[in-house]
Chain A
Amino acid sequence: MTLCLLASYNSLMAEFTRRDFLKYALAGVGAVLAARFITACSSPQTAQNNPPMPAPVTPATEENDTSAVKYPDLAVVRGGEPEALARKAVELLGGIRRFVKKGDNVIIKPNIGPAMRTYEYAATTNPWLVAAVARLCLEAGAGRVRVMDQPFSGTAESGFLNSGIREEVEKAGGEIELMSRFKYASTDIPLGRDIKKWNIYEDILKADVLINIPIAKQHGSALLTLGMKNLMGAVQAAQLFHLNLHQRIADLASRVRPTLTILDAIRILTANGPTGGDLRDVKKLDTVIAGCDIVAVDSYATSLFGLRPDDIPHIKIAAEMGLGSNDLYKLNIREVTLGS
């Protein structure tokens, strides 16, 4: 019996001839070529990764529409739990349904820069605020709500975990996305003055709704990291921005256009930013600043640090480029303190 087995085993292997080998090799090459062909056929739409730039929801377009209700440019809500702050701010801006339609593909971009800090250090966006916005979007019928960022001082998983954002977002029903390397594509920045092309995360450009939830922090060269600076989490090789930081932040803001920016000033980091790590540098303000105009949100946020919009070069540049308004006197700002 054993002999039989051995013999059959040997004969089985003996049948694998050079001809067989060539056949399989040819089939393999064919498969690769077929894949290449399919790729080539479908590439015209995707090779240039330039999905149309979304028209930001701005009061300007609504002015033309006489039936439109006048919404404030900025909603500033103080004094309450993160979830209540988020709900009130969005409500003041016209409610989540103004931004999120049924079945929409929503991406939320918080700031999870430093991978090693918990939320108390105000180096990463408040997890309950992120979760509250995710929940709002799902309530409005969003098809998919993804939360993503690229932590820089550690792995992405450790950042999602340490910040508490993974736990809260998943509780709220949102997804955490690990930003995959293959999804960055070279993207034109037509309005860019310094950078005309950069590798940007495709899904962020293609999302129906992009909600930017930065945290307000001190920063060595940007001076403050607010809404526009937070968009640097959508690109590859962000450290190269620093060679001309302020202009490049503004250039990026001209291409990545969040539908809504909800700035987390529940805790702000006043020194040793953007990484923090010392609770003495953290100030608790329990404030959320929201608006469709990213430049306006950033401009208002400078006041949290006792600065003016013009003190931050990239805010000034962005306003000059027509990306938004930095004139706090001309903005329609609704300020509400909860429970008063």
Chain B
Amino acid sequence: MAAENKSSAGWNTRSWLNLRTAIQALAFIGFLALFLNAVPLLMRLDPLAVLANFISGRSLPPFAFIALAMTLLALIFGRAWCGWLCPMGTLLEWISFNKCRTKKITIPDGWRSVKYVILIAIILAAVFSNLTLMIFDPLTIMVRTFATAIWPGLDLAVNAAESLLNNVPVFQAPLARFDNALRPLLLPTTQLSYPEGWIFAVVLAAIILMNLVAERFWCRCLCPLGAFYGLAGKISLIRRRVNESCIKCKLCEDTCPTGTIRRDKDCSSDPGECIVCLKCMDSCPCSTSDFGPMFSPAKFNSYDPVRRQLFLGLGAGAVLALLFRLGLPSKQRNPYAIRPPGAGEQDMTAKCIRCGECIKACPTGAIQPSQMDSGPEQLWTPVIVPRIGFCQYSCNACGSTCPVSAIPALSLAEKKSTIIGRAFIDRDRCLPWAQNTPCIVCEEMCPVPRKAILLHTVRTKREDGGTMLLQLPTVQAGRCIGCGLCEYKCPVEGESAIRVTA
């Protein structure tokens, strides 16, 4: 990747820059394609996710070699991931607010330590089998936000536009064609709802808005994956070099998106911060900086995790992991935390990296990120909320999409007999039981071959004094698998009269 003479006609610095822009765009399209097709490759590319999952779950997740390969690449190219491939990095570059930062703010170097503290805290909490802090991983942030906010939000917007345009006769036929052809590819076909999606949208918006303080603020100061690659960058093979002919014109300092090139340090940069975007090469009027092999490790800076940051991270990881666990001794788990089929409660804490791939994969939108009701230890792990969506009987998408096997990859046959919960009828709310009103929706919907809901016919009094036959539903516990279709369809307004508990 050594810089060529810019004046040469062929492959020059501009070409490198264009290549980077193209690869960034392609990688982002790739991210969207993986997301839309619920292919779990993205998280497997994430060495931090794989490492934390390995430490926390005490076993290697499938396809861990991909993450190993990414780490090896980082040992060659440093933080090139951040500048070339990371969808979060690309998003932050596209919405950089470069034109909005009128006066140059220099953020204190010490802030750069935060990402290392988060990284170390993630790893140490993982030693205590807790992965809650993986919520800070940029790839989990991206997938989670796209799954719960951007994708369903886009669906709402498209649907609103379609409803409006459908009133105009000339648009009706093309709209129908559009909806049938493109919706299955690009948008959910059933209406999904994520009551907490706005939280994730706000988080992502905040990360983007931090660009107002400094370009790629997230990458500089907060991103734990960037910190991981940054540590690799310290000893990476290809690094930025500045030769003696540099005139300290400061043009590269102004272009550097992570602000690591400093005139007061001879226009040198920290390979732990450099994202190999090559903009400095392009901005340099004298062609004094280039990228090439360097063999001695880079020197450490005040913000690198040497002593204070290391202990802070270790302490934070340990304390948080233990604090999060305070709720555990009671053994009273949240009865409504119904887990995706086959997923154990322990796996949810120790293996789930909170990436939200299962949320995207679930075709009915049943899987929701759990909030604080199961305790902070399980923040944003997947739970099934039947009133929002049911677990489709003939579907094992969540297990086959989970990149770290926190949800086991069950075969369809296994899945159909996997018990994820049990339904209980609330006779004080159930229409036939409580109000003498005929209703058997739960029985009708029950998808197991031998229905788990039985109907008992009784003769009861009618309002007008006569008698009538009424069917009363009861749950046959041995047959119920807890899919929640009954709870989803129960026509009682508000809280369902039949509820699944774990």
Contacts and interface: CB of A to CB of B under 8 A. Distances in A.
Is chain B a partner of chain A in the same complex? yes
Interface of A: 1-3, 6, 13, 16, 35, 38-39, 42-43, 45-47, 114-117, 152-158, 162, 175, 177-178, 180-183, 203, 219-221, 239-240, 242-245, 272, 274-278
B67 to A, nearest CB: 32
Given A180-B180, A277-B448, A278-B450, A38 B168 contact: yes
Contacts of A219: 444
A155 B441 CA distance: 18
A243 B395 contact: no
Contact of B441 (A46, A154, A181, A239): A239
26 contacts: A2-B6, A2-B283, A3-B285, A39-B164, A39-B167, A46-B169, A116-B395, A153-B445, A154-B364, A155-B363, A157-B184, A157-B189, A177-B176, A178-B179, A181-B163, A182-B163, A221-B438, A221-B455, A239-B441, A243-B439, A244-B438, A245-B438, A274-B444, A277-B447, A277-B449, A277-B450
Contacts of B179: 178, 180, 182
Given A155-B190, A182-B162, A243-B491, 12 more contacts: A2-B282, A43-B167, A155-B364, A181-B159, A181-B163, A220-B440, A242-B491, A243-B431, A244-B438, A277-B447, A277-B449, A277-B450
A192 to B, nearest CB: 18
Contacts of A239: 441, 489-491
B281 to A, nearest CB: 10
B15 interface: no
Contacts of A242: 438-441, 444, 491
A117 B451 CA distance: 15
Interface string B483-502: 00100011100000000000
A116 B447 CA distance: 8
Contacts of A245: 438
B461 interface: no
A93 to B, nearest CB: 30
B394 A162 contact: yes
A35 B285 contact: no
B132 to A, nearest CB: 32
A13 B98 CA distance: 10
A42 B443 contact: no
Contacts of B336: none
Contact of B445 (A3, A35, A152, A155): A152
B446 A275 contact: yes
Most chain A beta-carbon contacts within 10 A, residue among B162, B180, B282, B283: B180
B37 interface: no
B103 to A, nearest CB: 16
A277 B22 CA distance: 51
Contacts of A158: 363, 392, 394-395
